[in-house]
Amino acid sequence: MKEKEKYIRIGTLLYKVVQRPLISGDYIEEKILWSYETLRQDYGKNNLPEIEKYNGFCIIPDHVNYQQVHGTYLNQYEPINHIPCQGKFPYIRSFLSHIFDEQVELGLDYLQILYTQPTQMLPILLLVSNERNTGKTTFLRFLKMIFGKNATFNTNEDFRSQFNADWAHRLLVLVDELLLNKMEDTEKIKNLSTAGDYKIEAKGKDRR
């Protein structure tokens, strides 16, 4: 298995690229911090594997002409593992008609812009219903299936935390049940969707 193991260096930090198994039976690629000492223990100091080197991470969303490497930077935006094709989609169209009702064309436009122009600013999409079991959660899971690791689920606590490195670079932040009881919460989410620039902060690291 050692010849299949992959290591990359981002700046001065070493990462091992691994495939973490999921309960569904699938695998998800992750980059975990590694040490040169462990690398030497595994391979011997005279038999180290090839290490791809990059100056840092960048975030360049694209689904049509995706590039993993931009110059000397590694793209943190993840590729989508499926390719769209022309054809009928009666079940999905029926589901979207149920979700958006008479505004289904706006819903289709929203999804198309997300896919073809992921850097285009879009309004925050709110699904509101007095009834339960209307398909709101299923719609969020549907978006997650389309955009993969570029979409993530958040809670109220995630928005209030000062650390946002795990979700600030995602295309979609999905919230199933959102309770905003403070004006500052509302303003923060509004700023997230309209700001031209936003700082990412991880615990123990400088903001960038």
DSSP letter string, 26-72: -EEEEEEEE-HHHHHHHH-TTSPPPEEEESEEE----SSS--SEETT
On the CB side of 67, CA atoms within 13 Å amount to 10
- Overall average pLDDT of the 80-90 stretch: 89
Please give the pLDDT value at position 109. Answer: 96
Q: Maximum distance among all alpha carbons in the chain?
A: 67
Of 7-21, 159-173, 188-202, the range with the lowest mean pLDDT is 188-202
Nearest C-alpha neighbor of 10 from the set 48, 54, 41: 54
Q: Residues 24, 25, 30, CA angle at the centre, nearest 5°? A: 95
Residue 198 scores a pLDDT above 70 = yes
pTM: 0.83
Cα-to-chain-centroid distance, residue 28: 12
pLDDT band at residue 180 under the 50/70/90 scheme: low
Q: Mean pLDDT in the chain?
A: 87
* Least confident interval from 51-65, 105-119, 151-165: 151-165
Selected residue with higher pLDDT from 176 and 111: 111
User: Does residue 1 carry a pLDDT above 70?
Assistant: no
**CA neighbor of 97 nearest in space, from 134, 141, 145, 144:** 134
Q: What average pLDDT score do residues 145-157 get?
A: 89
Beta strands 56-58 and 69-70, pairing class: unpaired
* 101-115 pLDDT per residue, tens: 999 999 999 999 999
Q: Which tens digits make up the pLDDT trace of 112-135?
A: 999 999 999 898 898 887 777 788
The domain limits of the chain are 2-54, 90-194
- Read off the pLDDT band of 26 (50, 70, 90): confident
Worst-scoring range by mean pLDDT, 19-28, 38-47, 99-108, 181-190? Answer: 181-190
